[in-house]
Amino acid sequence: MRIISKYSCFLLFIFLLASCSSDDSVKKDEQKPTITINYNEGFPQACAQLVKGETYNFKAKVADNQALASYSLDIHHNFDRHTHDDQGEKCELEEVKQAINPFIFMENYHIESGLTSYEINITLTIPHNIDTGDYHCAYSVTDETGWQSRTSVDIKIID
């Protein structure tokens, strides 16, 4: 019985050792995807003014070295004058104010498997019954391995 037990332990050890691999042929994805609105059709550009009731096409280009997975669009008020770490251009902001009926839009979207470049194009109508003022428009993109990039700009919603 002891021989069978030792033999079983030995076989289990060999099996576990054999199942480990140091295969370095699998290329690891160490690059974040890219996202930009800085091209002719990119929208909105920093400091853009969007009119309540109007319809806009929000556009950004995203790319990845291996494969894209998803993206999101987030529009939220900036009545408290907060910032995001990737904002480039500074826009003239209104005084701090209390939100009464702010516009909040947050949606996630899937990208067809295997694509390495994609143009985001979301048609969105700005509601009539929201607070005017300073807002942020933020895009986010995630690749298939989980790397994520974001970009955001200041915008204004006006009557």
Regions of the chain short of the pLDDT cut 70: 1-26, 85-88
Query: What's the confidence (pLDDT) of residue 25?
Result: 61
- pLDDT value for 9: 53
Please say whether the beta carbons of 116 and 68 come within 8 A. Answer: yes
Give the mean pLDDT of the chain. 88
What pLDDT score was predicted for residue 4?
A: 57
- Positive or negative torsion for Cα 122, 34, 110, 103: negative
- Return the closest-CA partner of residue 127 out of 59, 46, 51: 51
Distance CA 80, CA 99 (A): 9
pLDDT value at residue 132: 98
Q: Give CATH for domain 31-158.
A: 2.60.40.2550
What is the domain partition of the chain in residue ranges? 31-158
Q: Residue 66: helix, strand or coil by DSSP?
A: coil
Q: Are 118 and 60 in contact (CB under 8 A)?
A: no
106 DSSP β-pair partners: 74
